[in-house]
């Protein structure tokens, strides 16, 4: 469990650092809004395509364990490549390579964690998201510390590469059962003992309306999660006219408030139904997000951004737990379809970048106001006889 949560924390540490460093990267490499959109969307689109077969190929046991470790090595190498990138193309290729590496290292670890406790999806996803949020908050702080020490965003990415190699080493020496999702006695058995999901089975699973609805919902909610986080630093500099240092603080506030929301959800997930919590917070976001865009005072913007981040913190763990719950014992299929849906979701950040290039970033982010409304429209209603969470 500790190894799995450390892997997720590292992945979000990288994401938090990237969000805070984007204004610096953009200035260093003289990137346009369209290029920024491509840097966010293309890795998601191309990386999801490369990641697509992972859930079906990985299976269980030693095979999945080996792919996790290979993904860790590839992830660390891609981070080092980002640090040495001096052109848009090299940076794009490095970020594209990072995505399937993260899929092998992080997503397969998540599926193993879900397989280990089939009846605890909501609680385990809450703990997983809390670990990721802690890593995301540490990202801007890492960048700020590097800048204070007269380093650059490249230095921060080199440190991340070393951290990734270290985490992979810990995973390699912590034993196969810690990553396989199987009991210790079973973890050393041959992969043939645990058949991999078939492609036909994956196709049949998505015909279930519940599975399809949660897959769509995961892409919709990402617009106010990762997509907004990816642009918030640039928004604060270009639209709110904050300095890069203040923008980094804004990203830290965004991630720190998300961490607080994740901690609240870890405690609340044992007592509250996830779907009801998601509906209530989506209703709150209908008011909070427009307020974030419209308030003219920077301090008020950051306060509302913090409230929005707390409100939306439960969205991903609830939706992802429900996806796994709709596919009991078939986490590989959940990974497969999550990757497939991620390719469609890549259109979101690219669309924001293209609209920002044509009409300005303020108008581009205004379009995301439809997100909480769409969440309320797509969200399945909890059944009346749904048992309480224990």
- In tens, the pLDDT along 233-255 reads 889 988 988 887 788 788 888 88
Could you tell me the CATH number of the domain that includes residue 86?
Answer: 1.20.1250.20
* Residue 190 falls inside a structural domain: no
**How many domains does one find in the chain?**
1
Tell me how crowded residue 62 is: count the other CB atoms within 10 A of its CB.
18
> How far is residue 374's CA from residue 49's CA, in Å, rounded to a whole number?
26
Q: Which residue has the higher pLDDT, 133 or 314?
A: 314
Apex CA 160: angle with CA 19 and CA 234, to 5°? 15
Residue 319 domain boundaries: 2-182+195-378
> How far is residue 305's CA from residue 309's CA, in Å, rounded to a whole number?
6
Q: How confident is the model at residue 329 (pLDDT cuts 50, 70, 90)?
A: low
* Residue 354 falls inside a structural domain: yes
pTM as predicted: 0.70
Rounded average pLDDT over 252-264:
88
**What pLDDT digit, counting tens, does each position of 180-236 carry?**
444 443 444 444 444 555 666 666 666 767 788 888 898 899 999 988 988 888 899
106 closest CA partner among 207, 225, 6: 6
> How far is residue 100's CA from residue 316's CA, in Å, rounded to a whole number?
20
Q: Which residue has the higher pLDDT, 164 or 57?
A: 164
Rounded average pLDDT over 320-325:
84
* Residue 383 falls inside a structural domain: no
**What pLDDT digit, counting tens, does each position of 331-372 carry?**
677 777 777 777 777 677 778 888 888 898 899 999 999 999
* Residue 61 falls inside a structural domain: yes
Tell me how crowded residue 286 is: count the other CB atoms within 10 A of its CB.
15
pLDDT at residue 88 greater than cutoff 90: yes
* Residue 235 falls inside a structural domain: yes
**What pLDDT digit, counting tens, does each position of 149-186 carry?**
999 999 999 999 999 999 999 888 875 445 444 444 34
* Residue 188 falls inside a structural domain: no
> How far is CA 146 from each of CA 82, 139, 243, rounded to the nearest angstrom?
16, 11, 17
Q: Which residue has the higher pLDDT, 351 or 86?
A: 86
Q: How confident is the model at residue 282 (pLDDT cuts 50, 70, 90)?
A: very high
* Residue 296 falls inside a structural domain: yes
* Residue 236 falls inside a structural domain: yes
The pLDDT value recorded for residue 184 is 43
The pLDDT value recorded for residue 196 is 56
């Amino acid at each position: 469990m500790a190894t799995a949560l450390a892997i997720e924390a590292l992945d979000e540490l990288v994401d938090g650092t990237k969000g805070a460093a984007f204004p610096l990267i953009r200035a260093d490499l003289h990137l346009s809004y369209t290029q920024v959109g491509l840097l966010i969307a293309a890795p998601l689109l191309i990386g999801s395509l490369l990641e697509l077969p992972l859930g079906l190929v990985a299976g269980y046991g030693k095979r999945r364990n080996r792919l996790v470790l290979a993904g860790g090595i590839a992830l660390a190498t891609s981070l080092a490549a980002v640090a040495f990138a001096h052109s848009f193309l090299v940076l794009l290729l490095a970020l594209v390579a990072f995505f399937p590496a993260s899929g092998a290292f992080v997503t397969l670890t998540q599926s193993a964690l879900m397989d280990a406790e089939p009846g605890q999806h909501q609680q385990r996803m809450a703990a997983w998201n809390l670990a990721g949020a802690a890593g995301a908050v540490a990202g801007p702080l890492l960048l700020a510390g590097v800048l204070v020490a007269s380093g650059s965003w490249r230095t921060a990415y080199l440190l991340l590469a070393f951290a990734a190699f270290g985490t992979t080493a810990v995973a390699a020496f912590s034993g196969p059962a810690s990553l396989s999702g199987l009991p210790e006695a079973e973890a050393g058995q041959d992969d043939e003992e645990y058949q991999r999901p078939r492609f036909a089975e994956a196709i049949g699973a998505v015909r279930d309306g519940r599975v399809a609805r949660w897959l769509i919902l995961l892409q919709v909610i990402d617009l106010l999660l990762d997509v907004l986080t990816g642009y918030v630093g640039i928004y604060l500099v270009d639209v709110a006219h904050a300095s890069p240092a203040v923008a980094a603080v804004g990203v830290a506030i965004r991630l720190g408030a998300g961490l607080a929301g994740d901690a609240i959800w870890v405690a609340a997930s044992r007592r509250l139904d996830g779907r009801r919590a998601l509906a209530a917070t989506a209703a709150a976001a209908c008011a909070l997000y427009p307020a974030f865009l419209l308030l003219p005072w920077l301090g008020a913007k950051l306060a509302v951004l913090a409230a929005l981040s707390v409100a939306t913190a439960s969205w991903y763990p609830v939706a992802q737990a429900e996806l796994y719950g709709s596919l009991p014992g078939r986490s590989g299929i959940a990974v497969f379809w999550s990757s497939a849906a991620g390719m469609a979701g890549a259109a979101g950040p690219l669309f924001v970048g293209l609209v920002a290039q044509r009409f300005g970033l303020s108008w581009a982010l205004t379009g995301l106001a439809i997100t909480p409304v769409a969440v309320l429209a797509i969200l399945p209603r909890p059944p009346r006889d749904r048992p309480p969470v224990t």
